[in-house]
Structures are given as structure tokens and as C-alpha cells.
Structure 1
Amino acid sequence: MARESFEELPGYAELPDDVKDLEIAATARHGVRLFLRRVNDPDLDHPGSHRLFRERAAQRAEEGMALHLLLRTHALGVYVLWQALRDVAHPGEEAALVELVDILLQTHPGVVGAVAETYLDERSALEAEQRAQQRSLVRGLLDGMVPPGHVLLDQLRLEGPSLVLALGLDSPPPEDPVAVRRRLRRVQTVLDHAFGLDVLALLDGDGGRVIVPKDCAPPADLPRRLGKASGLQVRVAAVRADGPEHITDAGRTATEILRITRVCGLAPALHRLDDVLLEYHLSRRNESSHRIAALLDPVAERPELLETLRTHLSHQQDRRATAAALALHPNTVDNRLAKIAEQTGIDLSSPRGTALAIAALLLRDSEG
């Protein structure tokens, strides 16, 4: 197995000398020995004969060698061995040469199959480990458990401003884990394509959080794209982080925006803080929060009243729009709103009463 033959392979020359001179050479010798054993006993199928090939394939996968280069070394090894057999064959030995080549070609698919299988398994395991580590780092950063500037975060390559998203999948149906994983892969693909890079995503069946490591604005049709990929309505909250040290706060703000849009009954869309400024302000907790939340205690056991109130507020207190959204008669809406006012003392016809109702809904939800 002349080294000169392998030097012709693209990328071979860049390999470390110990890999070329020791490991690849040892693997080639092992392959020749296996071939000679099969020549002596064509029916021999020695257990563990592919072990060295598998070990080397796993090592090459861990080192990052391209699979095509690894497989080419094996294919070239077979060709060089064929050349050696051809060169030493004498006239009249054609039948023997054909028999030897037949054995050589019979054994090659098994070797290539073992090498490719092991390589892909090892790469899959390594990539799964890398994804798990990346998810752990992203979660730690968003949750504030890994401080900005930590050496581990260098792996995320976060520099300068970023965009942080919170995603909400409305009413995901009960599904088996395989279907959920497929949906999340489609969502991940849409996100990567939308921003032109691999985003850092923490996704689950209900949505998740995403860091887009560049200064950009989300596409206006991002919820529609995600909805098409997931088969569900998707709401997206977007917050800009001026630097890695602001990502934790941006993630919390995005999650809160998402919660507020749900509580206030806003339709799934692309939401920013400016879209819910008043609601965001009213939902901040302070000394008066528990008393404001308690204003709705009298109707806490009447979910239809709370849903009517939430829908009425989200439709700018338009009784007909509220009735249409709830599939009710407008008079029924009026009766329910009157019952709420009677039991809570909140006057929904006044700006103050409307603000109190919004704050009470938001604060009760945050308590839950």
C-alpha cells in the first residue's frame, strides 16, 4: 500500500503524520491480513474482524475527518491491492486472478458498511452531546444561571447585540414524542432560514425561547411561517439585547410579553414591548398588587365571566365584536358584564375601571 497512492487523495496530505504513518498504515495491513485469510478460507467469517476498522472510524469521526475522505482511503486500498495482484499475475493465471478479485470485492462492502455505520453513529453521538451542551449553556444564560462573560459562553459566539424571541404555540394537541420532535425540527428549520444562520433555540411542545446572535429585526411574517411549519397558531415576542450581558433580561421581558398577550386575549402575531406597554406596566407587582388582583375574587369561580371580560377588553370593549368572538348574543355579553360590575365594583365604562380590570387579570395570571 504505497503511501504515494494515498497522497493523491484530497485532504490526505493535511492529516497528522502519526495518523498517516501509523494508524492508516496499520489499518491497511489489517485489511491485507483479512483478505489473505479469506483467500485461504473463502467461507471464513471471523468474529470481530471489523473491530479495528470500527475503532479507527470512531477516531476519525471524533477528530472531524470528512466521511468521504475516510471511505476513499478504504476504496483506494482495495484498488491498490488489486493493482498489486494484477502486477504479479503471470500469463495463464487469469482465472486465479479473477477468483482473488472476486474475494476482494466480496469483502469490501462489509468493511465499508461497518466503517460508515460506526462513523455516522459516532458523529451522531458527538453532535447530540454538543447540542445538549449548547442547550444547557443557552438555558443557563437565559435563566441567569451562567453569568455573561463566563468562559463556557465562548462556545455560543455571542458578540454585540442579539435578538431574543419567546415563542408560544397556541393549544398544541396531545401527541406522541416523535410527532413533537418532528414539529420542533420544522420550527427550528424555519427559524434558521428566517435569520440566515443557526439560531440558539430552546424549544418544547408549547413553544420556547430563541437567541438570534446578530443585530436584526424579526421578519414581519415570522408567525405565519412558524404556523405553517407547526400546523398551529404561533405568537412571537421579540426583544433586542444590546449585548450578551443583556440577554437574560431580554429573555425575561420577551417571556412576559408573551404571557401578557395571552392573558389579554390578543391574537397570535409578532409582539413587541411597545404593543403592550400599558399592560406590561400594570402587571408589575408592588404593595398594591394583591389587592388589585383580589378585585376579581367574587367572579373567580365563574370562568365564563372572566373569559367574557378578557375577550371584551381585547376587542376594545366592542360588545358586538365580543359577542361574535364568543358566539353569544350581544345581550348575553351585556348581562355578563353587568354581573361582573355588580359583583366586583369595577366600572368598565370608565378609563379607571378598564385599567383596573386589565391589571387585575394580569396580576391574577402571574400569581397562578
Structure 2
Amino acid sequence: MTYIEEPEGSVPGLSPGARKLAARCEPQVNELARRMARGAFENLGGYAELPADVKDVEIAATARHAMRLFLRSAVRGPRPSDDGLETFQTRAAQRAEEGMPLQLLLRTYCMGTRELWRELRTLSEPGEEGALVELGDALFAVQDRVVGAVTESYLDEQSALAAEQRERRRSLAQALLDGTAHPERSLADGPALVVFMHLGGGSGGPGGRSPVTVRRLVRRIQAALDRAFGTEALTLLDGAGGHAIAPGCTAVPDQLPELLREIAGPDTRLGACAVTEAGDIPRAAHMVGEVVRIAQACGRPAGLHLLDDVLLEYHLSRPNEGSDRIAALLAPLAGRPELVETLRTHLAQRQDRRVTARLLNLHPNSVDNRLTRIMELTGLDLGAPRDAALALAALALGATA
């Protein structure tokens, strides 16, 4: 057997025959790249819609670089100036920023590998089967490394872009809710719907959710809002709830309350108010938060709450010179949450003792006993319209919620 010295720096493990076949293919790289750009790539779904400069320059150039880098390394071994995977990682990040789908990007790499493999097969001669197998193994091993690096770089860039987008939306939402200036405030100028959400606690309540659970919850709520409103909602949310602004919308979609209950629990509440311009958002945001708080304090069932639903309670709850004295009427019930809940439910159910008993899982006589105790402690006669209104106002002020 004749010993043939391997060139310095060649790829370890490749036989001289494999290097010879790679050298025969190397001059075909430019033509092969042109054929792929004009033929094979055009058959990929979504490729035709890409900008011309991306197709004709970026993707074709990347394919040409990948083939030449592989063949050159196979023939002469990697040089100190070779950038390895860096070029592919950089261009993957660019494709992510441009919005090119990841599956399309990866298919261009896989198709480039397949076309190069076909060219190697075409150029191989009888007796070079072993060399062809060697190059095939090396080629597909390189493809694994490239696809892995490209995917990681693409997803990292996409994640960074998504984080920037979330922060931009959050910053704009904060500025709109505060009434402060923001460079992109004009994006939300005009009619909009302002929503406040108080999320159901589920097991452990909002405060008991882990940071991971909260992030997942917020992402799911954001997706539900975007889907229901058909636009990117601007949100300022945490594990307990928060505000959302839906530009261009004037009413809560019918499916939204149910979507939020499925995501955050059956106790989820939301209030909403339409505004005609961005300057009205701070006032509306405060108002819808108050509407939800009052509805909860007065025993309204969870769900969607509008101002008209609690119009009297909202009016009674506005702070004035008599607010502290009204709130103090229920001070004797402090430490007796079962009495407060009974009063709240009884007033919400129009003082129907049987409905109150059913909702609280009590006997009607037990409800009567609790109501009697409430009247003894507070001095209020709940059968009198004036005293019932005072009790409702005290609940609305939230002093004993």
C-alpha cells in the first residue's frame, strides 16, 4: 500500500480520496449556489415572499459561504481565519430581527446540505464510494452543528426582541395610565377601551403564586387579550391583576370574561370604560378600578362590572365629610367576617333571606340570627330603607371588606 502524507491542518480522519473528491467539487460552489437560489429555494413555502435582497444576497451568500467553508476545510483543513459558526449565528440573528420564520431559515440550511450532497454524488467516480461515504458523514455532522447554532442564535434574538417589545408596551401603558409623555403615545391616541382586572386567586391566592407561575399567567392573559380584542393590548399586569388598554376598541368582547376565568380562576373580576382620546385614560383607569372594588365589597358576583351596574354604590362610596362616620357604622363588626359577609350577601340579594342562606350554605334561621346580631351591634335597622342604604354605603367605602 502506498503511503500518502496528509497535508498539514487537514480535517482529521478524512482519507486522501475524500479530500480529492472535495477538491473536485470546490470549483462548482458558485454555480451550485446560483442554482439553489433560482431553483431549489424557490420551492420552499414562504421563500418567494422574502425581500429580494434577502433572497439574492443574504441567503444565497450564506449558502455559498457554508459550502465553500465545508469543502475548503475538507481539502486543506480549517485555517486560523475561519470564523466557524459565527457567520451563521450572526445571520440567524438578522433573520430573526427581520421576522423570517425559523422553519424557513432551517430548511434553507438543510436544503443546501442536500444539494451539496447531490453534487458530491454526481462528481464521484467509480471506486470513490468510500470517499463519498466519508464526506457524507462529515457533511451531515457539520449540518447538525450549524442547525443547532443557528436555532440557538435565532431563538436568543427572538427572545430579546420579544422582551424589548413587552417592555415597550409596558412603558407605553404606564405612560398612558399616568398621563405622562411617551415617545410612542400617539400610537394609542384616539378611542380606546380601558380595562381593570382583579384576578381570581385559585389555590393560595394571587400573593401565593410563584414568580414563574405569575410570568406564565401574565403571558396567557396577554395572549387572551390580544386574541379577544384583535389588537395588541397595552398591559400593566402582575399576579393580582392590573390594567389593560385596547386601542381602537369600545366594548368588552363577549368571550373575554370567560377566557379570563379559565386562565385565572372563577373569582376573576374586570371593569371596563371606553374613552375617546388618550388624555381620558388616567381618569377612566381610576374609575374602573373603583368599580371593581365596589362590586366586590358589595357582594356582586365575579365577572364583568360596568359603572351602571354599581351606579348607586359608586355614588355612595365617594369620599366626603361624612365618609368616615358612615364607614364607622360597621366598625362593631370588625373581627366578625362571617357577619360582614352575611350583610354583604343579604344586601346584594335584595334582602332575600332564602337566597342569602343558599349562597352562604346556611339555614334561613341562621341568616336571621346573624342579621339580628348585626343590627344589635351596629344599631342599624336593615328593614328600614335609610339604614340599609347606610350599610350599603359603608360596605362600598370598603372599611370592613
TM-score range, shorter chain: 0.7 to 0.9
SS across alignment from 1:15 = helix
1:196 to partner: Cα distance: 3.0
Identity %: 47
* Correspondence for 2:69: 33
1:325 aligns with 2:359: yes
Query: Which residue pairs with 1:126 in the alignment?
Result: 161
**Superposed, which structure 2 residues align to 1:23-102 within 5 Å?**
25=61, 28-29=64-65, 32-39=68-75, 49-75=84-110, 77-78=112-113, 81-82=116-117, 85=120, 93=128, 95-102=130-137
In the alignment, the residues of structure 2 paired with residue 323 and residue 29 of structure 1 have an alpha-carbon distance, to the nearest angstrom, of 78
Query: TM-score of the superposition, structure 2-length normalised?
Result: 0.76
| Partner Cα distance (2:87, 2:378) in 1 | 78
**Which of 267, 270, 275 in structure 2 is aligned with 1:233?**
267
Report the Cα offset of residue 353 of structure 1.
1.1
Say whether the 8 Å CA contact 1:166–1:208 is kept in structure 2.
yes
* TM alignment of 1:124-273, pairs within 5 A: 124-142=159-177, 144-147=178-181, 150-154=182-186, 157-174=187-204, 175-273=209-307
Cα deviation code 1:170-217 (max 9, x no counterpart):
333234444444444444443333333333333333333222222342
* Separation (CA, whole Å) in 2 of partners of 1:82 and 1:302: 80
Aligned partner (choices 7, 10, 20) of residue 57 of structure 2: 20
Q: Residue 12 and residue 184 in structure 1: after superposition, are their counterparts in 2 closer, same or farther (change >3 A)?
A: closer
Q: Would the aligned equivalents of 1:311 and 1:322 in 2 still touch at CA under 8 Å?
A: yes
For 2:185 and 2:360, the matched residues in 1 are separated by 48
Q: Distance in 1 between matches of 2:108 and 2:354?
A: 74
Paired with 2:60 and 2:286, the residues of 1 have a C-alpha distance of 52
> How far apart in 2 are the matches of 1:259 and 1:151?
32
Whole-angstrom distance in 1 between the partners of 2:70 and 2:96:
23
2:143 counterpart of 1:108 = yes
Q: Which moved more, 1:244-253 or 1:164-173?
A: 164-173
Q: How far has the Cα of 1:50 moved from its partner?
A: 1.8
Q: Deviations over 1:305-341 (max 9, x none)?
A: 2222212211111222223323333333333333333
Gaps of 5+ in 1: none
TM-score normalised by structure 1 residue count: 0.82
SS in 2 for 1:240: strand
Contact 2:202 2:265 in 1 (8 A): no
Q: What is the CA distance between 1:84 and its match in structure 2?
A: 5.9
Which amino acid is the alignment partner of residue 54 of structure 1? Q
Which whole-Å CA distance do the structure 2 matches of 1:270 and 1:306 have between them?
23
Q: 1:321 to 1:50 in 2, by over 3 A?
A: same
1:359 to partner: Cα distance: 1.4
Deviates more, 1:170-179 or 1:24-33: 24-33
The question of 1:362 aligning with 2:399 is answered: no
Find the residue that maps to 1:332 and give its secondary structure.
Answer: helix
The answer to which of 349-358 and 51-60 deviates more is 51-60
Give distance in 2, aligned partners of 1:7 and 1:221: 46
Quote the offset at 1:47 in angstroms.
11
**Secondary structure in structure 1 of the residue aligned to 2:248:** coil
Q: SS of the counterpart of 1:248?
A: helix
Distance 1:87 1:219 in 2: 61
Separation (CA, whole Å) in 1 of partners of 2:97 and 2:256: 37
Asked whether the equivalents of residues 271 and 305 of structure 2 are also in contact (C-alpha less than 8 Å), the reply is: yes
| RMSD (CA atoms) | 3.4
Amino acid in structure 1 at the alignment position of 2:203: P
2:14 corresponds in structure 1 to none
Answer yes or no: is the 8 Å Cα contact 2:235–2:244 preserved in 1. Answer: yes
Structure 1 residue 362: deviation in Å?
A: 2.0
The worse-fitting range, judged by mean Cα deviation, of 226-235 and 240-249 is 226-235
Return the letter of the residue paired with 1:58. A
Instruction: Report how far residue 111 of structure 1 moved.
Output: 0.8
SS of equivalent residue, structure 1 residue 151: coil
Distance 1:170 1:79, change over 3 A: closer
> Measured at CA, do residues 310 and 226 of structure 1 come closer, stay the same or move farther in structure 2, by a change above 3 Å?
same
Structure 2's unaligned 5+ residue stretches are 1-28, 42-47
Tell me, in whole angstroms, the C-alpha distance in 2 between the residues paired with 1:54 and 1:31. 16
In the superposition, relative to structure 1, how do residues 222 and 25 fare at CA in structure 2: closer, same or farther (>3 Å)?
closer
Match status 1:300 vs 2:300: no
Larger radius of gyration: 2
* Deviation at residue 350 of structure 1 after TM alignment: 1.9
Whether the 8 Å CA contact 1:163–1:215 is kept in 2: the answer is: yes
Residue-pair matches, total: 358
CA distance in 2, matches of 1:336, 1:124: 56
- For residues 232-282 of structure 1, the C-alpha deviation after alignment (integer angstroms, 9 at most, x for no partner) is 332221211122222222221111111011100111122211010000011
Contact 2:196–2:289 under 8 Å retained in 1: yes
